[in-house]
């Protein structure tokens, strides 16, 4: 069993910054997605920041990135920094999601004004 979401992601997808973890476990993407689904925002962000610290890096599939950011934003709907980070990822892996990214930026800007 993996101890963290990051370890599980590294085992499944690899990591360009560290050697892929060697383990004896069977790996299925569906198991990772299940773990991701119930991860808290801190776990999700820790995974991103360790495996893809420059947003454009990393081997996580785009659909996993999109899902993970969506789950994190849903858990932290009042976090403008997270919204901007998610928007950056969408812009880099778009353009299909440019409108969603722009909306996230608008919401983040609005939250900053309210603060």
> What's the confidence (pLDDT) of residue 41?
98
Residues 81-103 as b or e (16 or more Cβ within 10 Å = b): ebbbbbbbbbbebeeebeebbee
Q: 1 or 60, which is more confident? A: 60
Condensed to tens digits (0 to 9), the pLDDT of residues 43-65 reads: 999 999 999 888 777 889 999 99
> What's the confidence (pLDDT) of residue 70?
97
Residue 7 has pLDDT above 70, yes or no: yes
Q: Which long-range contacts (CB under 8 A, 24 or more apart) does 52-60 make?
A: 53/17, 55/85, 55/88, 55/89, 55/92, 56/92, 57/16, 57/17, 58/13, 58/15, 58/16, 59/13, 59/14, 59/15, 59/16, 60/9, 60/13
> What's the confidence (pLDDT) of residue 80?
97
The percentage of residues in the chain with a pLDDT greater than 70, rounded to a whole number, is 97
Domain count, the chain: 1
> What's the confidence (pLDDT) of residue 37?
97
> What's the confidence (pLDDT) of residue 21?
67
Q: Which range marks the domain in which residue 96 is found?
A: 5-114
Q: Give the residue among 101, 112, 32, 107 at the shortest CA–CA distance from 69.
A: 101
């Amino acid at each position: 069993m993996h101890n963290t979401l990051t370890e599980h992601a590294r085992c499944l997808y690899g990591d360009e910054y560290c050697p892929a973890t060697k383990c004896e476990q069977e790996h299925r993407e569906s198991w990772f997605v299940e773990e991701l689904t119930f991860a808290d925002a801190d776990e999700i962000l820790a995974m991103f920041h360790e495996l893809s610290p420059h947003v454009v890096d990393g081997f996580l599939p785009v659909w996993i990135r999109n899902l993970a950011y969506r789950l994190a934003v849903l858990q932290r709907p009042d976090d403008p920094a997270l919204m901007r980070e998610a928007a950056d990822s969408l812009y880099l892996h778009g353009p299909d999601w440019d409108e969603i990214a722009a909306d996230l930026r608008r919401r983040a800007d609005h939250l900053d004004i309210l603060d």
